[in-house]
Homo-oligomer: A and B are copies of this chain.
Amino acid sequence: MPSHADPQLPTLTFNGDPYPLTPGLTLLELLRQLDQDPARVAAAVNDDFYAAGHLPDRELCPGDVVDVVRMMVGG
Listed in ascending order, the chain A residues whose CB lies under 8 Å from chain B are 2, 14-17, 19, 34, 41-42, 44, 46-51, 67-75
Report chain B residues within 8 Å CB of A14: 75
Report the minimal beta-carbon distance from A29 to chain B, rounded to whole angstroms. Answer: 14
Known contacts A47-B50, A48-B47, A49-B49; decide if A74 and B42 are in contact (CB<8 Å).
no
Report chain B residues within 8 Å CB of A41: 72
A68 contacts B72, C-beta separation under 8 Å: yes
B16 contacts A73, C-beta separation under 8 Å: yes
Q: In the complex, A40 Cα to B67 Cα: how many Å?
A: 15
Report the minimal beta-carbon distance from A36 to chain B, rounded to whole angstroms. Answer: 9
Q: In the complex, A69 Cα to B70 Cα: how many Å?
A: 6
